[in-house]
Chain A
Amino acid sequence: MGNTVLEIKNYTKSYGGGKIAADNVSLTVEAGDIFGFIGHNGAGKSTTIRAVVGVLDFTEGEIFIDGHSVKTEPIECKKVTAYIPDNPDLYENLTGIQYLNFVADVFGIGAKDREDLIKKYADAFEITDSLGDLISSYSHGMKQKVAIIGALIHSPKLLVLDEPFVGLDPKAAFKLKEIMHEMCENGTAIFFSTHVLDVAEKLCNKVAIIKQGRIIDVGTMEELTEGHSLEEVFLEADNEEK
């Protein structure tokens, strides 16, 4: 512990017309953390996540990944980050294996390594048989699985997931949780958003609650819950802010 992988410092994102989507957000995710980011729909979770992974430009503040600034050294940051969006837009006219090879090529993964890793994760998600089919023929869950495998095959230091369990079947969701645990034991930092408080409570060691773009509570699971359920804490924090 103590090895900071993700540091968000006073991150603010405003749109035209002065609307603020994220307001002075600050948090730290360390190696081995599974950090849950919870909040209502439209609270600013995805906006923050998209800024972290370098997709969204932001107005103020700084975001560092493994010591590199997302603003000034985006490539260094992306080399150690993997991102799984809530609704992955994959290339529909590629086959699953063609897409995974594309990602592996970008990250410069050798032929043997990629073969082993793709096989390992594809077997785990029971999708190996379908890798030769066009992505356009996949169900939402299968696309999600391919996106997850694409994120895992380059062994990232930071794994960022936006609502990762939406669309996954129970077995795949269980497998993903298992993989997340395994990765965090190996020192990967995981930062993910979810609406499902039960999942966050069981999976995370740290949590931040965001409301209307502002962090209203952040800390370890023990600090936040103090014997209560995360649901109770979330609702209480939400009511206090009203």
Chain B
Amino acid sequence: MKKNNILLKTLLMSTSSFNIFRYTTDKKKKGKIVGAFFGLLILYAMLMFYFIAACVGYGKIGLIDSAPVLCALSISAMAFIFTFFKTNGYLFNFKEYDMLMALPFEAKTVASCKFLYMYIKSLGWYMSISLSMMIGYGIYAKPGIITYILWIVLSLFLPIIPMLAASFLGFIIARISAGFRRTNIVQTILSVALVLFAFSIRFIMEDLFRNNKVEEVLTDMSGVTDNMAGYYLPAKWFANAITGSGISDALLLVGSSVILFTVVFMIVGRSYRNINSSLKNHAASKNYSMTAQKTKSVLNSIAFKELKRMTGSTAYMVNGGMGQILCTIAGILVLIVGFDNAVTMITQNAPFDHAIIRPAIPFIIYFFIGMVATTACSPSLEGKNYWIVKSLPISTETLYKGKMLFNMYITVPFMTFGILCLCISARVPVLETILYIILGFALCAFSTAWGCVCGVKHLKLDWENEIEVIKQSAAVAIYMFPNMIVTMGLIVLVVVLGMHMSHNLIAVILIAIASALAALSYLRVMALAKKNK
């Protein structure tokens, strides 16, 4: 236990901005840390505002009793998804594996401390949701003091079971992949397959609960949440403990979290060294014979280097390529089931003319593709290898251009494919289709350049783990959140505009706006490159 504490404390300290702030003499670095801290506070405040507002909404329509279940389900879903994407890189295949495993720690100690580290680092997000929903619940339900105490204490346990489930799935995937020569590729394929399965489960469950009856869903929302809690017991235990102050339910949640934690890391510990050995070591085949070599332009060469960097990391591939895979699957599915049927399924038979959705096609596809831009993390991913590109006779502008080119290579074809699938299925006229493809291209250019602005502006080379850059960096957060919100807003806007204006005209206007934004972002990247010379 003492060793667990030592290791956990060190893991936390080794990535703590406070430690850097305390000991660094670099004033610029200190300023960035303070800026990032306030940025984080703003994000927490936004999240809390959203959930308090949601709770007030439930309170006003008399559904406040569902707030505890919703809180538990929201936290559990977030904890599961975020952990699953982080497992490879945090639990397995991490940078300092050799250093830690050479010290007298048991494998299960290292694995469990890495898990607890992930838990503590993400607890702020989960507690923000929980506390804000508790405030909302408190306003309407006016419970006793014991309920607040139970809510806070049990919230600390809520993320553990989904995080353990995600970690265990990551462990199984890593265990299976370890048996293959191309471990990384197998691991990526299995991870993507699992994510797709999770998405399909979501739809199956939604269908199960909704049964295509929109009105019933709206009038019987508490029934829906109760149903879901019936499938996921920890949510039910949490809700029962809060609404009925049931100590036995509280004990069930705490007890099962602790027992599952112990069991999972007993199992993981047994194969830990074997899995990491397979993930971190690759045999040299030593069978290469010199063949004719092809030349590439400098930009293509940088783009190729980026491709190899991406395919060399499961975490990078899963995060950076998920949008493209989802977009391809969505495109093919819409072609098979038909645009009208797809819209009917998604909008639950809502009565409206499906043609009004047509102007939103490029944005629907962009919602997948633009979710992540490799340019937001690729400058930081250079990490300790930054010296290689910096010592080459290429300008920083060229380096960033190469990185942007790579993102265009992996977004434009998928964007075009997705738009074409939807346009064919929706029988969009040819000229309109061409305009949507051009708009898609402009959106890709914007996503690429804006991602690069964020990536360069918030460059972080001294990371301990690439997940810090791929999933948790300021650059990715600043790129992703405004991008998602603006995209959703634009989808609504173009649908509304489409009812009053020609679709072609809307597309032309949006092409102009997206191109202007892309150009501005590109110019900003070039200015930052000059500054970073």
Contact = CB atoms under 8 A, between A and B. Distances in A.
Interface string B73-110: 00000000000000000000001111101111111000
Interface in A11-59: 14-17, 19, 21, 42, 47, 50, 53-57
Contact of B13 (A21, A50, A89, A94): A94
A61 interface: no
B464 A132 contact: no
Interface residues of B, number: 41
A19 B283 contact: yes
B20 A93 contact: yes
* Interface residue tally on A, bucketed by range: 35 or more
B462 A92 contact: yes
A124 interface: no
Contacts of B19: 93-95, 98, 134
A199 interface: no
Contacts of B181: 15-17
A75 B285 CA distance: 33
Contacts of B349: none
Contact of B281 (A15, A91, A106): A15
A42 B286 CA distance: 10
B265 to A, nearest CB: 16
Contacts of B219: none
Contacts of B15: 93
Contact of A132 (B14, B23, B101): B23
Nearest to B97: A55
19 contacts: A15-B281, A19-B284, A42-B284, A47-B281, A53-B101, A54-B101, A54-B273, A57-B274, A57-B278, A78-B104, A89-B95, A91-B14, A95-B23, A98-B19, A132-B23, A133-B23, A134-B20, A134-B23, A136-B462
B6 A16 contact: no
A179 interface: no
Given A83-B102, A90-B99, A94-B14, A56 B285 contact: no
Contacts, number: 109
Given A17-B283, A42-B284, A94 B102 contact: no
Contacts of B14: 91-94
Name the residue in A47, A83, A106 with the highest tally of chain B Cβ atoms < 10 Å from its Cβ: A106
A81 interface: yes
Interface string B1-39: 001001100100111100110011100000000000000
B313 interface: no
Contacts of B464: 91-93
A135 to B, nearest CB: 9
Given A15-B282, A78-B104, A57 B6 contact: no
A103 interface: yes
Interface string B153-195: 0000000000000000000000000011101000000000000
Nearest to A58: B277
Interface in B268-296: 273-274, 277-278, 281-286
Contacts of B278: 16, 57
Given A16-B180, A17-B285, A55-B277, 13 more contacts: A17-B181, A54-B102, A55-B98, A55-B102, A57-B274, A78-B104, A89-B98, A91-B13, A93-B464, A94-B19, A95-B23, A98-B10, A106-B6
Nearest to A50: B98
Contacts of B16: 93
Contact of B104 (A75, A92, A93): A75
Nearest to A147: B99
A174 interface: no
Name the residue in B7, B274, B283 with the highest tally of chain A Cβ atoms < 10 Å from its Cβ: B283
